[in-house]
Structure 1
Amino acid sequence: MKLFLVISLFLIPVLGFSQGVRIAQEAFHQANDNEAIVLDVREKWEIKNTGMALGARWIPISAIRFKKREWMVFLKTFDKKKVVYVYSRSGGRAAQVVRRLRKRGFKAKNIGGLRDWKKAGLPIKRVRN
C-alpha cells in the first residue's frame, strides 16, 4: 500500500506535466495550420517579463473580468469553428477563461501555463513596452 502511495504521488505531477506539454504542442501545430487560436490571458507586466507564445493573441484576464464590452468585441474576432487554446502563468486563470468561452459556444482547451509551452520547446516572442 505504501509503495502504491509513493508511486501515485510521483506519477500525478508527471502525468499532469506531460498533458500540458502535449496540449501546447497540439495548439502550436493547429494554430500554424490556421485551425486554432492561441490566447494568452496574463497581465501586461507578466508578458513584459516572460514574453508570450509566438502567434498568440492577448487579452488580460482583468479586461475579461471587468471590461465586458472590450471582451465581447474581442470575441467577435474569433472564428467559432476554431479551437481556442488558452494559457496563463500556471493554468488557473486559463481554466476560468475556458469556462467562459465554452458558455459562449466556443471549443476551448486549457494549455496550462506558459511554462508548458516552453517545456514543449515551442517558440516565445519577446514583448517590448
Structure 2
Amino acid sequence: MFSNGRQKRITLSVILIFSVFIIIAALNRQQKTDTFNSVDDRISLLPIEANKLIQENNAFLVDVREWDEVKLGIAVSAIWMPLSKMKDQDKMFSQFLSILRLDRLVIVYCTDGKRAVEAQVELQKRGFQVVTMGGYSDWQKVGFPTTIPKNQSSKTEKH
C-alpha cells in the first residue's frame, strides 16, 4: 500500500506526535502536583507561635504589605519585602533573598493573609520553608512590639 520509505516516515511521525503528547501530559501532571503541594503545605501560625520561633532565632518574619500600609506600622522583628517586588529582576528582592537562610523558617504576613499565601508559594519555589501568620493586626492585638519605619530606604532591613 505505502512504499517502505513512506511507511517509515509515517511511523516516525506517529511516534513523535505520541511522544509530544506524553511529555505534555507529564508536564501538566507535575504542574498540578506542584500546585497541590503548595496548597497542601500551607500552615498558618498564631502570632504567639511565630514570636517564639523568632525569639529563638529559628525563623525570619517577613511583612509583604506595600509601603503605604507599612509606613503606618510594622512588627519590630520583621523584614519588609512587598509582594509586588518579588520578581527575579528586582534588586530589592535579590537583596532580600541574600538575607534569608534555607535552614530557617520564613514566616510571612500581610493584612488579611491573601498576599502572604502568594508570597509563601513564591518563596517555596526557591526552596525556603515558609508558613503564614495571619495579619499585622493579629500581631498588634497580642501586644507584640511594632514600629513606624522612618522612610522607604530601610526596605529590607530588619525592624
- For Structure 1 versus Structure 2, the TM-score category normalised by the shorter chain is 0.7 to 0.9
The reply to whether residue 57 of structure 1 matches residue 74 of structure 2 is no
**Could you tell me whether the CA contact under 8 Å between 1:92 and 1:112 is conserved in 2?**
no
Equivalents in 2 of 1:127, 1:71: separation in Å?
Answer: 19
In structure 2, the residue matched to 1:27 is 50
- Aligned counterparts of 2:70 and 2:94: Cα–Cα separation in 1: 22
Q: Deviations over 1:28-83 (max 9, x none)?
A: 1111111100000111111112x101110011112114854532332122111111
Equivalences for residues 116-127 of structure 1 within 5 A: 116-127=138-149
TM-score (norm 1): 0.75
Selected match of 1:72 from 85, 89, 94: 94
The residue that corresponds to 1:96 in the other structure is 118
Residues paired across the two proteins, number: 109
Q: Give the one of 106, 110, 114 matched to 2:132.
A: 110
Counterparts of 1:92 and 1:66, CA distance in 2 = 21
Q: Which amino acid aligns with 2:114?
A: G
Q: Percent of counterpart pairs with the same letter?
A: 34
CA RMSD in angstroms, aligned pairs only? 2.0
* TM, length-normalised to structure 2: 0.62
Unaligned runs of 5+ in 1: 1-18
Unaligned 5+ segments in structure 2 are 1-42, 152-159
Runs of 4+ in 1 over 6 A off after TM superposition: none
Structure 2 partner of 1:14: none
Contact 2:88/2:94 (8 A) holds in 1: no
Kindly provide the amino acid, as one letter, of the partner of residue 59 in structure 1: M
